[in-house]
Homo-oligomer: A and B are copies of this chain.
Amino acid sequence: MIHSYEHKVQYYETDQMGIVHHSNYIRWFEEARINLMDQMGISYQKMEEMGIISPVLSVEADFLRMVRFGGNVLIRAIVTEYNSIKLAVSYQVIDKSTNMVHCKGVTRHCFLNEKGRPISLKKSYPRLHELFEQEYQKGKQLEEKKQESDNSKNHSEAES
């Protein structure tokens, strides 16, 4: 099961092109990432209270189709890289009514202590590490299943 977060597209998110301004997708990624962590049982809020911050090191986004005011989007977030020091989360923004992918993206993160020094979750917070590791393994399985299903689809297409 992929965690899927629903966002209602707001008027204030549009620009004069009549579509959602591209900077807002970056904010939706954050909404979905925080929701993913809630689902994993680690609220970002609690993580900050424990003295861990997880800044964004990089972001990439491909805007495939416009999104307009009045619709609802689902944002799917998957942990696609994790090694206790670095984390990558991948996103798909999907139109709820058509199921089409409108945007794909990825954000990369590290973990810092209160002094701003990088930490290894495995060493400093083994329980947190476990939860991220589990989520990462889930992500890998989903990816493998997807490729198998794509392969078998291509296979049957090749046969026909």
Contacts and interface: CB of A to CB of B under 8 A. Distances in A.
Contacts of A62: 57-58
Contacts of A48: 16
A57 B62 CA distance: 6
Q: Chain A at the B interface: mostly helix, strand, loop or mixed?
A: mixed
Contacts of A34: 10-11
Contacts of A56: 22, 63
B23 A10 contact: no
Assign chain A's interface to a size class: 35 or more
Interface string A1-27: 000000010111011111101111011
A135 interface: no
Contacts of A43: 70
B14 A55 contact: no
Contacts of A19: 16, 55
B63 A58 contact: yes
* Cβ-closest 9 pairs across A and B: A45-B70, A14-B16, A23-B26, A22-B56, A58-B62, A16-B18, A60-B60, A12-B27, A14-B15
6 contacts: A11-B16, A12-B21, A16-B69, A22-B59, A23-B23, A58-B63
